[in-house]
């Protein structure tokens, strides 16, 4: 089976596909003894060399990990100031490939996040055409009514596309008194 050279290089741990495209454009990659060009495909039968090192095809098993992201942690791979990031909580992979986050949560939100080492799987999970339902628990102030629920279910138009909830379920009313949550 063949695949694009930049994908092959990325899977081998040389960096993102964009970084690998830059390596190819810079003439640092040879395929079967010839300087590689963007857009070519390679298979396990081709000899790929980067900076005089033979690059082996990556045959890693697909890994998936679930993390309960705590509040106050960024869903980012880029550190800002001294704020912890979700990748601080993940184990190191033995190869050079990085974990890929499947979705994001804001800094003030806690909840389930998935990570994988397989970009195709991550893309499948995140792409809107696959219609994977996500469930959120939201705490809001004010009174909840049938009118508000119907407005939420009818959605909002953004850039000509309707975005809406598939279901809204009213939960138990709680109150915080002296730092304790009361039902």
Catalytic residue among 106, 133, 159, 167: 106
Instruction: List CB contacts of 130: < 8 A, sequence separation 6 or more.
Output: 124
Distance of CA 139 to the CA centre of its chain: 25
CA nearest neighbour of 60 among 91, 26, 98, 101: 98
- Among residues 121, 124, 103, 122, which one has the least CA distance to residue 112? 103
Chain-centroid distance of CA 63 in Å reads 13
147 part of the active site: no
CA distance 98 to 93: 7
Q: What is the rounded CA–CA span in Å between residue 23 and residue 26?
A: 5
Catalytic positions are 106
């Amino acid at each position: 089976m063949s695949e694009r050279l930049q994908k092959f290089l990325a899977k081998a741990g040389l960096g993102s596909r964009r970084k690998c495209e830059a390596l190819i454009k810079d003439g640092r990659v040879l395929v079967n003894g010839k300087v590689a060009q963007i857009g070519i495909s390679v298979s396990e039968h081709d000899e790929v060399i980067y900076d005089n090192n033979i690059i082996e095809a990556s045959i890693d098993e697909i890994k998936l990990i679930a993390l309960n992201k705590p509040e106050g942690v960024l869903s980012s791979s880029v550190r800002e100031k001294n704020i912890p990031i979700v990748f601080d909580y993940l184990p190191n992979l033995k190869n050079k490939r990085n974990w890929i986050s499947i979705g994001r949560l804001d800094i003030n939100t806690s909840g389930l996040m998935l990570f994988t080492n397989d970009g195709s799987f991550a893309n499948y999970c995140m792409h809107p055409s696959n219609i994977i339902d996500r469930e959120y628990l939201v705490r809001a102030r004010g009174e909840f009514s049938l009118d508000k629920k119907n407005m939420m279910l009818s959605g909002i138009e953004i850039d000509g596309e309707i975005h809406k909830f598939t279901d809204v379920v009213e939960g138990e009313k709680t109150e915080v008194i002296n730092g304790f949550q009361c039902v």
